[in-house]
A and B are shown apart, each in its own frame.
Chain A
């Protein structure tokens, strides 16, 4: 058994490895992000300011949190259409726990996140045990969760939740405020908003988990080839279920953050957010065929969508036109991605 037994792998060597492709994809998205920032800075004076940066950060948070969940689900070969509804249900439950049951805010929010997790668990079990296609399973959950949120609230917003309820969405770490000579508070440094902090921590944790943990490796393996993973002893059903649970938990958290920002629970919040989540993952290079995707890419994808919205707003582009533009961006990015992967 010596050299010459096997054919040379020259053809393979010339092709880009998947890791290199991921890298290119990430940088391509990053490049378009930088281009967007540059373009909007030129067209709108108010775009490049700390205040606007802050509001972009907050806007992006919800897309990114949902996008992280969507990425993990999609890498494992699934799809989760229910997150927009689940976040509404979770936020409503948290608010009702405060208002009706008088629970302390942190406990109420944990209950809300827990409801999100349960919705995810149901999604996962329907997919793995009843063997329904993920599209259908989560479509069902999308309607059920929205219906529950409307039912629980009688389709009315829940308000009068108290200041503590708004802390998560509106508070910030390291916020420096000085009471000025005129008696009005003066903000020296707006601080890092809690939602942004939360997003950063969760993004890092999930990225680390995907890259380094056994479970993360199994997620990629299941998405790449579920049968091969099963025949290698991977508990495919458990792995898939866990991805939906994670997506549900993150939807629950997003719901709490969003409702907290408004200090009002809206059962109609989050309609179509699942599509933003999926779009951010796809723009970030996650393949809907499964087995491929990164969290860093998704976060960049979320920023692309957030900045596009914000910048277009500042330039006075109508909401309708914005939808058209974002739709085109999604088509363009995925098309470029496919061109790159085609051989």
Chain B
């Protein structure tokens, strides 16, 4: 393994030449980072060669983000050496790192909603003509970056009109526009469809060929096979291993991440759907979003919603929940037909929706764990005067913390300080407390680490076993195949086909999701 001792090449590689393989682009040694009272990283070594993709794996809290923040100049290390292009550097700010050719694609989307896509891509680096922004150069530059990703996004669209996945593509385009030599990608595919991810991988291969180094972070281990050269595993702020990707199995990586072997990615399904229909949707329509969507959901069933980005899966779920209007179609729960005008009607009927965007739509992040758990059903812990009974409130909240194994120091902890997996469990607990009969999960494992994913899957299985009807919207086909009983495949706002999970495979689902089979 290379260390950062070769100071000799002070000039470094100037341009993005051919992959050299000898002098690393970046070498970190003995990096430590302490926050007041917490050791986020201790003695981590890491190096990145030109023309390679180096994956960093670890559970949430393993120190990946901190390490990336140190490389990109967001935070300064407490100890250790950073040698970039043969020169010892310490970046005081992200701007300094950017000037040196280091760019980061953040997991959280950092876009300005009221500016256009093009303006966002070149924010702070607008091409100028005199004192004015050169709008044509701006637009052309943005379009070039977007086309490279095959994104099909108009550079003049306002960012607030984009979906989450489109925002992610814009973030990636922004990083590409920097023409960086070292690119950090933190969960770049978390909301992309297979097709878009594939396109991104092609771009990554091009960047590799041009001599750039890429640090790649993802919870989707299976997709790494396509692009990753080496993989480093971190656990609890320490370096566990660095290997050539081809030399290790995925199971070995997972085992190192969690510190033990994880036998399965999906739990054994215990629930068996009954014949009893719990939710019946017929002819659901909203112009521009989805048309004539009909399906039934049975008690104890997990029904998958598969499809590409913009296929209308989330929109259908939100309309069933009353979060967005429904223009036509009928809904019935347990045979009784429903009129749903807003979420309150849906909740009263026993429908729950667990949003794709937990922080923006699922949680009151400034409020503590207990208040979030009881938010949808405060009436159950209050007396007739509308006063909350502190004892019953705490008991109810503690019950769900125990049952769902929510890791929190106390019931009073603000939920924004919890990990993604625990936040998701709190949202699930909120709806369990409400006795939901139908639960619509929208990308429930997005951005959640492997261990917590298994916990969420197990909970979903148990919910189904209790007779709850579950809809699982997911862009990860293995998840759909591993967890559902049937799969409804969407394409451009239409439910194209409902497949029996046991008798289908990724290819067949993709076939319908890509638009084949539509009349």
Contact count band on B: 35 or more
The answer to whether B258 touches A9, judged by C-beta atoms less than 8 angstroms apart, is no
- Verify if A39 is at the interface (C-beta below 8 Å from B): no
Given the complex, which residues of B lie within 8 Å of A225, measured CB to CB? 360-361, 363-366
Given the complex, which residues of B lie within 8 Å of A14, measured CB to CB? 35-38
Given the complex, which residues of B lie within 8 Å of A231, measured CB to CB? 321, 323, 343, 353, 355, 361-362
Q: Which of B321, B364, B451, B458 contacts A224 (CB 8 A)?
A: B364
Chain A 8-26 per-residue mask, 1 if CB under 8 angstroms from chain B, else 0: 1111111101110000000
Name B431's closest neighbour in chain A (CB-CB): A232
In the bound assembly, the distance between CA atoms of A235 and B376 in angstroms comes to 11
Contact count band on A: 35 or more
In the bound assembly, the distance between CA atoms of A234 and B382 in angstroms comes to 15
The answer to whether A213 touches B387, judged by C-beta atoms less than 8 angstroms apart, is yes
The answer to whether A7 touches B362, judged by C-beta atoms less than 8 angstroms apart, is no
The answer to whether A232 touches B417, judged by C-beta atoms less than 8 angstroms apart, is no
**Among A4, A19, A233: residue with most chain B CB under 10 A:** A233
* Contacting residues of chain A (2-58) with chain B, CB-CB under 8 angstroms: 4-15, 17-19
In the bound assembly, the distance between CA atoms of A18 and B416 in angstroms comes to 11
In the bound assembly, the distance between CA atoms of A221 and B376 in angstroms comes to 11
Chain B 180-219 per-residue mask, 1 if CB under 8 angstroms from chain A, else 0: 0000000000000000000000000000000000000000
Given the complex, which residues of A lie within 8 Å of B165, measured CB to CB? none
Chain B 349-365 per-residue mask, 1 if CB under 8 angstroms from chain A, else 0: 00001010000111111
In the bound assembly, the distance between CA atoms of A215 and B434 in angstroms comes to 18
In the bound assembly, the distance between CA atoms of A213 and B260 in angstroms comes to 46
Q: Which of B36, B258, B409 contacts A12 (CB 8 A)?
A: B409
In the bound assembly, the distance between CA atoms of A17 and B363 in angstroms comes to 17
- Verify if A291 is at the interface (C-beta below 8 Å from B): yes
- Verify if B499 is at the interface (C-beta below 8 Å from A): no
Name B449's closest neighbour in chain A (CB-CB): A7
Given the complex, which residues of B lie within 8 Å of A214, measured CB to CB? 378-379, 382, 386-388
Name A229's closest neighbour in chain B (CB-CB): B364
Chain B nearest CB from A74 CB (Å) reads 13
Q: Which of B347, B371, B417 contacts A9 (CB 8 A)?
A: B417
In the bound assembly, the distance between CA atoms of A15 and B417 in angstroms comes to 9
Given the complex, which residues of B lie within 8 Å of A217, measured CB to CB? 371, 375, 378, 388
The answer to whether B59 touches A7, judged by C-beta atoms less than 8 angstroms apart, is yes
Chain A 200-221 per-residue mask, 1 if CB under 8 angstroms from chain B, else 0: 0000000000001111011011
The answer to whether A292 touches B366, judged by C-beta atoms less than 8 angstroms apart, is yes
The answer to whether B407 touches A6, judged by C-beta atoms less than 8 angstroms apart, is yes
Contacts A10-B38, A12-B417, A217-B375 known; A5 to B455 CB distance under 8 Å?
yes
Given contacts A1-B455, A232-B347, 11 further A-B contacts (CB under 8 A): A4-B260, A9-B408, A13-B409, A18-B414, A212-B390, A213-B382, A217-B378, A228-B362, A228-B364, A231-B321, A291-B366
A-B contact pairs, 8 of them (CB 8 A): A5-B405, A214-B378, A214-B379, A227-B361, A228-B360, A228-B364, A230-B323, A231-B353
Give 4 closest A-B pairs by Cβ, nearest first. Answer: A7-B61, A5-B451, A12-B417, A224-B364
